[in-house]
Amino acid sequence: MKKVALTGAAGQLGTVLRRALLARGVNLRSAAGSKPLTPIVDGEDVMHGDLRERAVVDRLLEGVDVLIHMAGTSVERPLPEIIENNLRGLVEVYEGARRHGVKRILFASSNHAIGMYPVEEKLTLDCAFRPDGFYGLSKAWGESLARLYWDKHGIETVCVRIGSCVPEPTEFRHLSTWLGHDDLMQLVDRVINVPEIGFAIVWGVSNNTRSYWVQEGANNDAERLGYLPQQNAEDYAGEILKKENPLDTVAQRYQGGGFASIDFTPPEARGKHGE
């Protein structure tokens, strides 16, 4: 049986994945950050520590076949924090994968790597990056790092550009960006079990009628992976469309939603040098 490691196991999605993978009988090692995890099944393999430290990464990846990497800063934060957690930490993880012969990594990328596209545009997987902040920029960088480690070291990576992964869609933007938990688990199952994948990029999104994103591009990586999402946010549209859109005018204009509004300079204020 494959040994699977999960980082960020105490986070929002990590908690969902941890419980679901254990319920499926996956041979799982779950890792959190600064606080120890409480085992949820007898004999559960748990650990915690700073992934910028080589010894912690070695403990995480010893004997591991597949890493599901969910750890890191997941919101917009000042650049120094993003660099430490999402850039430096990621390099340590990939270097650890080299040392321990880890075959494959699921890298939790994000829709915020392309968040400054207008909502009217339909994007394929080979679209150019348009990050909506330092967090999105770190995910664009992470995808490039994953590509490097496949080309130079043969470590397979599936970069999943996660949309809005919540139990149910609750607002207008989710009609386009929702990734249901059932579809998330299908994605993770495929990453663990597909025989070969190389380097791949997949939209982490359900089969939404109003999706911004199309699982097509120079290579149809979703098809190679065998990802066929079944959930559709449109099933919740009736209730959502009765509500007021909670996003401001900038957030409604761009695919990254509220992240696009953060530190956004209005066109009329640009080029005024602090006047």
| Residue pair 21/28 in contact by the 8 Å Cβ criterion | yes
Question: Taken in order 98, 92, 190, 134, is the CA torsion positive or negative?
Answer: negative
What is the C-alpha separation between 152 and 3, in angstroms, rounded?
24
Work out the widest C-alpha separation in the chain, in whole angstroms. Answer: 63
Q: What residues form DSSP beta bridges with 3?
A: 27
Residue 135 is a catalytic residue = yes
What is the C-alpha separation between 60 and 74, in angstroms, rounded?
20
**Vertex 217, ends 211 and 219: CA angle to 5°?**
130
Catalytic residue among 94, 117, 135, 212: 135
Q: Please give the positions annotated as active site.
A: 135
